[in-house]
Amino acid sequence: MDISRIPLYWGIVVTVILYAGIGLWAVLRPKKYIYEGAPNKAKWRDLRIWAVVLVVIQIIIHIAWGGK
Amino acid sequence: MEIIRGFDLTIIIVYLAAIPLFGIFFKRYVHTEEDYFLAGRMLPFWIIGMSLIGTNIGAYDYVGAAGGAYRFGLAQANYEWLGAIPAMILSALLFIPFYWRSGAYTVPEYLGKRYSTSVRTIEALLWFFFLAAVLGVFFWASGIMLNTYLGWPIRLSILIVAVVVAIYTVTGGLAAVAMTDVVQMLVMLVGGLAVMIIGFNLTSGWTGLVNMIKPLHPQHFQLFQPLDSPDFPWLGIILGLGLVLSPAWWCCHQAIIQRTLGAKSEWDAKASMMGAAFLKMFVPLLVVLPGFFALALCNDPTQITNPDQAFPWVMRNLLPVGLSGLVFAGFIAALLSSMDSTINSTAALFTRDIYQKFIVKNASDKHYLLLGRLITLGLVGFGIWFAPYTERFPGIYRAMQELLTIFQGPTFATVLLGVAWKRANKWGALTGLVGGVIMSLSLAKIWQPMMNLPRTGMNFLYVAWWSFVTALILNIIVSLLTKPEPPEKIRGLVYGLVLEDVSTQEALRERAEGGK
């Protein structure tokens, strides 16, 4: 099999899956683990939300500029 | 031809004088080894986050990444996005909590607690020599830039930068490094925004920029390049950069992790890395766009014969008098913030993992503090001496990447299994680490450029991947064939073992207090 013939869009597909997987993994972390050491449980301190925002922005960037 | 003159030069000289003075201010907080190497564990997340990005954007980014964008296009931004963001999330939510709870000062120290002294020592030596070599790259980059912009001799430029960085790094330790990094990050940001605004003004915005470049370079506006691309094959980017080099950098790099260990709480340690990831997304605007501007606006190819000249060209031809000094101060900020962190963390490695472990055990805090400062000074001297040798590599940025490749894959495999798999043991780690480094050396043939021989080694992205896979497989096989680590030894150091129970917390506290 000649791997150089694999279309470029598969790179984008794999990347989107990778980001989505990391986002899902982050969301599934226990709340206690995420807030460990935090002075309070304010919503903005929930690092799972930070992770989801990062992942969504990155997925958009890769879909827009990944290549054709 | 120098680019910086008159008032711009005054700005730069004032900046070079002010940074060490600001750094020296933090000397008053340094009384112990912990103060020196971990800033007394008092840093909030936002300072660490900005400092991490300050360290991450170095001279090699301004020169090398702009050069990479000039030559390869948007693919260069892979280092800032796919080559950073996933790994930073992983680092924040998986690795940092275990480092932080173990009470370690260095990544090798964590590996010593998790595996054995042998693994710790090998890792410490690898990191020590790598970071010392990277210092050479930084110093050489500083020499080239000051020579290009100010017309100063390269050796003299290196010496001036070395004196400035040594003054506050030796005296103020990590607190000075982190606080000066915050100032330097802001200066970089202002300088980068100035270039961006002027550049877009000249190209009539993003659309104009695309229209000027795309007809001649159709692939310059896509992140992924075809598989037959010699420099950025998309599979290599995903496997080598996304899955190995980038996690190795953000999860295992001593200069990065040490900063998070200076956090005032575990949450701050984690949040610092996540906050840095948000800043990281904007880094291409600072370091990639100048390469595009040079490509779009330079009509005379003889003015940029080497891609690394793209950023200097932008400075020389696009910026008006007054802004050049500001942007150049941003460049110096990038340079200093990377150097100071590298120097401080290399000194921490030597002091904690070599000197305290094998040479002088159980000495006073003052003794180790003094030694840390002396090692810091010695490293600056070594960087000055080693700098000219880095010229033999093709491109400053690539030089650093190639040095990283040799042991980043094996290191990441060792730390990953250490954190994530309780069955991994010291024999598996040792075999994987040594086997992975041997695999890297045989595939990369990194000695060839140093001996002026033509390169025949594999693309470094694939070298990273295969050395990682080799280390991972060897670690798993040997661990399964040998005895597991006793649970009491690895409690609190491995994911999946209960962290919150009383006995685990007690074990962690004992390690943190006594484990050197």
The answer to whether the beta carbons of residues B349 and B127 sit under 8 Å apart is yes
The domain locations on chain B are 6-403
**B225: β partners:** B233
- Structural tokens at position B377: 């000074």
Residue with tokens 């827009």: A64
For chain A, which residues lie within 8 Å of any Cβ of chain B, measuring from their own Cβ? 3-6, 8, 11-12, 14-15, 18-19, 22, 25-26, 29, 32-39, 45, 47, 50-51, 54-55, 57-58, 61-62, 65-68
Q: How confident is the model at residue A48, as a pLDDT?
A: 97
With a cut of 60, say whether residue A24 has pLDDT above it: yes
Chain A contact present for B282, CB below 8 A: no
Write the single-letter amino acid at B85: I
Residues of chain B with pLDDT under 50: 1, 515-516
List phi, psi (to 5°) of B454. Answer: -65, 145
Which chain A residue's Cα is nearest to B500?
A33
Find the CB nearest A38 among B219, B267, B500.
Answer: B267
- pLDDT tens digit string along B464-513? 899 999 999 999 999 999 999 988 888 888 887 655 555 555 666 665 55
Which 3 state secondary structure label does DSSP give B484? coil
Q: How confident is the model at residue B497, as a pLDDT?
A: 65
The answer to whether the beta carbons of residues B157 and B150 sit under 8 Å apart is yes
- pLDDT tens digit string along B189-243? 888 888 899 999 999 999 999 999 988 888 888 998 888 877 788 888 898 888 8
Half-sphere exposure of B466 (CA within 13 A, CB side): 13
Which of A22, A49, A63 best tests the B interface by mutation, with the highest count of B CBs <10 A? A22
Separation CA B206–CA B220 (nearest Å): 13
List phi, psi (to 5°) of B119. Answer: -65, -45
Contact residues, chain B, for A26 at CB < 8 Å:
89, 93
B106 Cβ neighbours under 8 A, 6+ residues apart: B124, B127, B254, B257, B258, B345, B348, B349, B352, B353
Helix-helix angle B117-150:B107-114, to 10 degrees: 170
Which of B274, B459, B465 best tests the A interface by mutation, with the highest count of A CBs <10 A? B274
Helix-helix angle B323-349:B154-203, to 10 degrees: 130
Q: SS3 sequence, A13-38?
A: HHHHHHHHHHHHHHHCCCHHHHHCCC
Tell me: ipTM over 0.90.
yes
Residue with tokens 């980014």: B61
- DSSP assigned state of B32: S
Helix-helix angle B323-349:B254-261, to 10 degrees: 80
On average, the pLDDT of chain B sits at 85
Architecture of domain B6-403: Up-down Bundle (1.20)
User: Over pLDDT 90: what percentage of chain A?
Assistant: 72
Going from the C-alpha of B457 to that of each of B28, B249, B444, B462, the distances in angstroms are 50, 22, 5, 10
Pairwise CB contact (< 8 Å): B224 & A67: yes
At B274, which helix (H) or strand (E)? helix B266-280
Which chain A residue's Cα is nearest to B222?
A67
B215 Cβ neighbours under 8 A, 6+ residues apart: none
Which chain B residue's Cα is nearest to A21?
B86
Residues 249-268 of B with CB under 8 A from A: 265-268
- Structural tokens at position B144: 């080239």
**B402: β partners:** none
Domain span at residue A12 reads 3-65
The answer to whether the beta carbons of residues B221 and A65 sit under 8 Å apart is yes
Residue with tokens 């460990």: A36
Find the CB nearest A37 among B267, B274, B500.
Answer: B267
Contact residues, chain B, for A36 at CB < 8 Å:
97, 266-267
Q: How many domains does chain A have?
A: 1
Q: How confident is the model at residue B396, as a pLDDT?
A: 57
Q: How confident is the model at residue B32, as a pLDDT?
A: 86
